[in-house]
Amino acid sequence: MDSFLAISPDSDFPIQNLPYGIFKPRAGGAPRVGVAIGDAVLDLSVLDDAGFFDQTIFARRNIFKQLSLNTFMALGRDAWCETRATISHLLNAETATLRDDAALRARAFVPQASAEMLLPAQIGDYTDFYSSREHATNVGTMFRGAENALLPNYLHLPVAYHGRASSIVVSGTEIRRPRGQIKPPDANAPIFSATRALDFELEMGFFIGGGNALGEPIAIERAEEFIFGMVLVNDWSARDIQTWEYQPLGPFLAKNFATTISPWVVTLEALEPFRCESPAQSPEPLAYLKNGRGTFDIQLRVELQTARMEERQKISASNFRYLYWNMAQQLAHHTVNGCNLRAGDLLASGTISGADPNSYGSMLELAWRGARPLQFANGETRSWLEDGDTVTMTAWCQRDGYRVGFGECEGTIRAAHGDSVS
C-alpha cells in the first residue's frame, strides 16, 4: 500500500506504521492526538471535526482532543483497529477524499519540525522487567561470578520491580545527574555525592489499553488484546547509588530520578509483519506462562555524542527478539495474582542485550564495570556517562521497500544540582 504523500523509503513513518502521539503546534494551540506519517503529523482532531470518524463506535466523543492517549487506549482493540483502518484509507494513494482537498490538507497536516511532542500518556503505574537473559547473566557474572550469574528464580518467572511514573519524560528532555548515598570500595562509610557511575539502559516498553478488574488475571492467550502499542525506553541508572542501596528491596533512588521514552506509540498491528519466535525456554515455563505467539524482530541502536564530538557514534546494536521473556508472558505474570492494570500503564522490558559484546544494552556491560572503557576516534574514553553526553536510541523493523520505526529516544546529561558534599 502506498500513500499519496511522498515518503522516503528510509522514513520511520510510512503508511504501514501510523503510530500515535500527543503533540501541539509550536505556533500555538492545545495538545491533541496525532499520527506520524512521513515528515508530518496528521491531526486526528481535524479529521474528527470533519466527520471522518462519525461511523465509529466512539463517534463525536472528542477522543482526539485530549491531553493524552488514555481515553483512546481505554476504548479497546475494536476501536483501535477501526481508527487505523479509517486513517489508512484516507492516506491511501487511491483515495481522493484527503488527497484532493487542499484546504483540508492544510489544516490536517503539521510538519513534524513545527510540532512539539509531549508524553503520549498519563502514566499511572510503571513496571520495569529484567527480561534479557544475556543482560542478567552479564550483571550476575560481574557481581557474583559466572557460576552464580543467574538467581534461582530467573528461568521460572519474569523478574520485575515497580518504578516511578512521575519521573518518566519524553525524548529530548535533559537529564539532571542525580545525587545520593554512595559507598566507595575503599571507604568504611557512605558519602553523599552526585553519581559517579551514570548509565543508560536500552529498553522497550508497552502501554496498556483497556485493563482488567482487580482480582481478575489476564490469561496469556488474551494478553496482546490489552497491549495498545510500544515505545523505546531509556531507564537511566546511577550504578554506584544502586550498588549501595539495592539490598534487600531492590532499586530506589538509583532509578527513580528519570526514565525517557520516545513520543510515538507503534501499534501491534504495524508490528505484526515482523513477528518471530522467542528464544527457546528451558526449563519449560509453568502453564500460565506458555506462549506460542512469539515476539517481534525490532532492530535497536544506541549512539553516544559527547560535548566534544561533531556527530553521534554508534556504541551498541541489539534486537528486541533477544528477550528471554516476551511481552505476553510479562503481562500474564504481572496480573496472575489479580493485579489490575489500567489504560496508560507502562511496562518496560528491562535492558536488552545480545550475546555479542557489541549488542550489550548498557555502559555497565559495554565497559564491563569500568574495566574496558569505550574508546572513541577523538581520543575520548567512557566508562560511564559524563555531563554533556547525549544518548540517542532508535528502533525499527525492516522490509523490502519500507521500515516501521519508532523515532528517537534521546536525552542529554546535565550537571547535578549544587555541589557534592561528604
What are the catalytic residues? 135
- What does the block give as the cell for 230? 510500544
Cell 538467581 sits on residue: 151
Q: Which amino acid, residue 414?
A: R
**For the chain, how big is the Rg over CA atoms in Å?**
22
Q: Which amino acid, residue 362?
A: S
The answer to whether the beta carbons of residues 90 and 97 sit under 8 Å apart is yes
Q: Which amino acid, residue 240?
A: D
Enumerate residues 6+ apart whose C-beta is below 8 A from 413.
Answer: 174, 175, 177, 198, 385, 386, 387, 388, 389, 390, 391
- Best CA proximity match to 308, nearest among 237, 393, 411, 386: 386
The answer to whether the beta carbons of residues 324 and 180 sit under 8 Å apart is no
Please give the Cα distance from 337 to 220 (Å, whole number). Answer: 13
**CA angle, corner 168, sides to 166 and 172, nearest 5?**
135
- What does the block give as the cell for 282? 528451558
- Side-chain-side CA neighbours of residue 314 (13 Å): 8
- Best CA proximity match to 109, nearest among 215, 13, 176: 13
Cell 504523500 sits on residue: 5
